[in-house]
Chains A and B, each alone.
Chain A
């Protein structure tokens, strides 16, 4: 996880691929968002437990330690966390994914079309 946790993080990126989460984080920062990074579901839960809630979570599904499905299940167990919308960014194509039960507000397949993603992010992070 990147060392700095902004006190008013807007977007939490959860992905086990270091360069992917770092570069996506950088893009979002350039766009003016604050960003927090987590390498798996467990780190993401730890983040939620120790920081002000993000406005949005960008969630990979297949990750070591704790995958995206398990993260989502635990996130929804806590009512205050459950409010945070989740956009799934998965490596799975539409035929093999198990995204129906995830109740995500969006689903993107990597490599993501960044303009579309930034548009969706803007909808959930603008005041």
Chain B
């Protein structure tokens, strides 16, 4: 029995029954009851709506109404407290009807004694507790199912969007290739024009190849088929290598680039090619999602036990709410989607996947749209290179 008083509401139109119940409850040993009594169906209904009691004792006969109607009302109001139906004369039919109305128990007033009443209340409350626990478990399961469904729906939406973007992004290079073929076929007489067109065709083949490679990397990332080969390496030369690989793209967008590396080596156990790829992914984003003439700064340094690689830009920035799914495959922020760029929502997911394979993490900072962003790759620091 709980230590605090059990709040009981009696709904009964006979004042003698109020006295009877009060006497019976007073005789129960070891439990405290707070008995509130109301006479009419309407009073009972209003009291039930307030859901303030632990147990409802309801007489079968309530003027024009009956107790079962009231109990149905209790259930409709969402009141979870147990209900005990009391009757002056036992009737099997009334008992069955009460059971169907989900009455917790059915008591014969003639035979009530303190022990029986206490026991009925205790069992009724216990039964309701079990029902409640079951209901809670069901609710929590439903909530989890809803959550998972939402996640799957979102994943599906991203995939659909990705397929649409992929189609779109492939169409431009294909169109350019088509133009090149047209030029060669119809007007390819001049040597300079042929060379120029061939250069363009090569660039477009590269672009399509990059799109397809990105697609394959995404597939590997999703199926857990990415592999790395770690060795002890100094991060700084890799940063330089990554910057050089992206320099043409950065210059094409007329961005100012600054690079800051420490004098001492930054040892990490890493797959050198993959780290260069991570930096390139971050740098490409910086270049593509910064309006021409922006600033991009790349730095490597260390704090207590990590080696850090930072890429900061003055670009379109990231809204706080967009940060949540930013590293999810195929995710593109609304700002990014508004720009027909080469972005497919693969680079960041891949970067994070690769960094996590190095037991590292990627953090993102931005003061919001229009205020640039910073990506920080954090890798475990390794001991000095074995000589």
The answer to whether A24 touches B187 (Cβ under 8 A) is no
Smallest beta-carbon distance A54→chain B, Å: 19
Q: CB within 8 A of A110: which of B172, B187, B291?
A: B172
Q: Which residues of the other chain, B, contact A111 by a CB distance below 8 angstroms?
A: 171, 174-175, 177-178
Q: What are the interface flags for B157-191 relative to A under an 8 Å C-beta threshold, 1 for contact and 0 otherwise?
A: 00000001001110111111111101100110000
Q: Which residues of the other chain, B, contact A19 by a CB distance below 8 angstroms?
A: 173, 176, 200, 203-204
The answer to whether A24 touches B172 (Cβ under 8 A) is no
Question: Which secondary structure dominates where chain B touches chain A?
Answer: helix
Say yes or no for B236: interface residue by CB 8 A criterion: no
B291, closest chain A residue (CB): A65
Contact residues on A (Cβ < 8 Å of other chain), bracket = 20 to 34
Say yes or no for B340: interface residue by CB 8 A criterion: yes
Say yes or no for A122: interface residue by CB 8 A criterion: no
Q: What are the interface flags for A13-39 relative to B under an 8 Å C-beta threshold, 1 for contact and 0 otherwise?
A: 001110110111011001000000000
* A15 CA to B171 CA, complexed, in Å: 13
The answer to whether A110 touches B171 (Cβ under 8 A) is yes
Q: Which residues of the other chain, A, contact B127 by a CB distance below 8 angstroms?
A: none
Q: CB within 8 A of B182: which of A62, A89, A114?
A: A114
The answer to whether A114 touches B340 (Cβ under 8 A) is no
* A24 CA to B200 CA, complexed, in Å: 12
* A71 CA to B164 CA, complexed, in Å: 23
* Residues B285-314 near A (CB distance < 8 A): 291
The answer to whether A110 touches B174 (Cβ under 8 A) is yes
State which of A2-10, A44-52, A79-87, A91-99 sits at the interface with chain B: A91-99
Interface of A toward B, CB cutoff 8 Å: 15-17, 19-20, 22-24, 26-27, 30, 60, 62-65, 67, 89, 91-93, 96, 109-112, 114
Interface of B toward A, CB cutoff 8 Å: 164, 167-169, 171-180, 182-183, 186-187, 193, 197, 200, 203-204, 291, 338-341
**Sorted from nearest, which 4 A-B pairs have the closest CB atoms?**
A62-B340, A23-B179, A64-B339, A110-B175
